[in-house]
Structure 1
Amino acid sequence: MSLSPEYFEQLFSASEDPWSFRTRWYEKRKREVTLASLVRQRYARIFEPACANGELSALLAERCDELLCQDINETAVKLARHRLREYGNVRVEHARMPGDWPDGYFDLIVLSEVGYFLDAGEWAQVIEQTQLSLSPEGGILACHWLHPIEGCSQDGRQVHAALETLLPLHRLVRHEEPDFILEYWSRQPTSLDLAETNH
């Protein structure tokens, strides 16, 4: 089963940064690894569901023309809007996956630390919606903690195994450490950055 909205409400009621995104070196370094794994210098449209308080979102905002963030928790949405207030290219919405999936196409969809909060059926729906929402040159970046999480019906390995099974895409990046796994999947078989120039 997926975790209820009340689970996240309890977390954000106790702290504005329940996973210590702002303060832990592990989280800061993981964000840097995430950004380094993006195969393109810049994206037109990025979608980041489950944005939490917007720490990764702020860095993604600098790599795109338009960023759509969503979160199931209203407190997280308020925190993310405050964190991202200086970025005119960002919109933050209150929404729940997989039912509130946005319209349109995206060049990058970031599924970071979200898959194991859904049950296997819901995660399969998210994977299907993700690939249907990708532009012709689009990519998916997925990153998940590998240790068990209390109350979750899946772990990080199961989440990424489902991606490998269900995505008819090319895996361009795979990075694994004892604590997390990160993968980048693309409609294109090679990096698009080979001919890209700095601006």
Structure 2
Amino acid sequence: MNTPAGYFDDQYADTDDPWHLAERWYDQRKYRLTAAALPRPLYRRAFEPGCSVGALTELLADRCRRLLATDRVDRAVERARRNTAGLENVTVRQMVVPDEWPEGSFDLVVLSELLYYFGSADRGRILAHGTRSLEPGGHLVAVHWNHPVPEHTCTGRQIADELADSDDLGLLARYDDPDFTLTVHERRTHAGSILSPAQSEGLA
């Protein structure tokens, strides 16, 4: 069962940053670890669904030639657009995943604090969309909270375990702490292999 859509509308009813994402050290640290975990210095075209107010979007923009960030809540989209107004490589749109998904392919998909709002069926659809839209050698990053929350259907560790079952993705990195789990997966090439950052530069 998915978290009801009204939950998000209620969260944004009285503030445009209900989780204080732009203020808390916990979130700033997590976002910097997420950006630092990206295996490439620069991505051609990236997708970040569930961007909320765009706090992580601003960091990802430094690593992407083009970045599409989306959220289902109009107020979040408005705030994210204001926060990224000076970044010409960023586009912010209203979009409801998994029923909507952007056209074209990406070499980076970032799923941050998103998947635990969905039941197993829709979570599987999002992961399937994300995997199919990744170019071979592209990266899927997932980072999610580990503590139980009534509105969450699972934890970051459970999401990481689900991703580990994918035949199309290979694990490059996993970081666990008491608060969140971060994983970086690579879409396997036709040869089935994945390359670490050192291997991609011929160092290993």
Q: TM-score, normalised by structure 2?
A: 0.91
Are 1:116 and 2:121 matched, yes or no? no
| Partner residue of 1:190 out of 185, 195, 200 | 195
Q: What secondary structure is seen at the aligned counterpart in 2 of 1:166?
A: coil
Give the conservation status (yes or no) of the 8 Å contact 2:32–2:59.
no
User: Shift of the alpha carbon at 1:79?
Assistant: 0.5
Cα deviation, 1:31-79, whole Å, max 9, x if unaligned, reads 1110110000000001000000001001111111100011010100001
The answer for the alignment partner of 1:89 in structure 2 is 89
Are 1:102 and 2:102 matched, yes or no? yes
Q: What secondary structure is seen at the aligned counterpart in 1 of 2:110?
A: strand
Q: What secondary structure is seen at the aligned counterpart in 2 of 1:102?
A: coil
* Runs ≥4 residues deviating over 3 A: none
The answer for the alignment partner of 2:42 in structure 1 is 42
Give the conservation status (yes or no) of the 8 Å contact 1:131–1:167.
no
Amino acid paired to 1:191: S
User: Shift of the alpha carbon at 1:109?
Assistant: 0.1
> How do 1:137-176 residues align onto structure 2 when only pairs under 5 Å count?
137-176=137-176
For 2:22 and 2:56, how far apart are their aligned partners in 1? 10
The answer for the alignment partner of 1:8 in structure 2 is 8
Q: What secondary structure is seen at the aligned counterpart in 2 of 1:153?
A: coil
Q: TM-score, normalised by structure 1?
A: 0.94
For 1:139 and 1:150, how far apart are their aligned partners in 2? 30
RMSD: 1.4
User: Shift of the alpha carbon at 1:187?
Assistant: 2.3
The answer for the alignment partner of 2:191 in structure 1 is none
Gaps of 5+ in 2: 189-193
User: Shift of the alpha carbon at 1:167?
Assistant: 4.9
The answer for the alignment partner of 2:24 in structure 1 is 24
Q: What secondary structure is seen at the aligned counterpart in 1 of 2:182?
A: strand
Give the conservation status (yes or no) of the 8 Å contact 2:17–2:76.
no
For 1:99 and 1:139, how far apart are their aligned partners in 2? 22
Amino acid paired to 1:164: A
Amino acid paired to 1:29: R
For 1:74 and 1:128, how far apart are their aligned partners in 2? 25
User: Shift of the alpha carbon at 1:24?
Assistant: 0.8
For 1:10 and 1:167, how far apart are their aligned partners in 2? 38
For 2:41 and 2:55, how far apart are their aligned partners in 1? 19
The answer for the alignment partner of 1:57 in structure 2 is 57
The answer for the alignment partner of 1:78 in structure 2 is 78
The answer for the alignment partner of 1:134 in structure 2 is 134
Amino acid paired to 1:161: D
For 2:51 and 2:95, how far apart are their aligned partners in 1? 11
User: Shift of the alpha carbon at 1:158?
Assistant: 2.3
For 2:175 and 2:23, how far apart are their aligned partners in 1? 23
Amino acid paired to 2:40: R
Q: What secondary structure is seen at the aligned counterpart in 2 of 1:14?
A: coil
Give the conservation status (yes or no) of the 8 Å contact 1:127–1:167.
no
Q: Percent identity?
A: 37
For 2:60 and 2:150, how far apart are their aligned partners in 1? 29
Cα deviation, 1:151-194, whole Å, max 9, x if unaligned, reads 22222222222211235211001100011000000025113564
For 2:27 and 2:98, how far apart are their aligned partners in 1? 26
Amino acid paired to 1:87: L
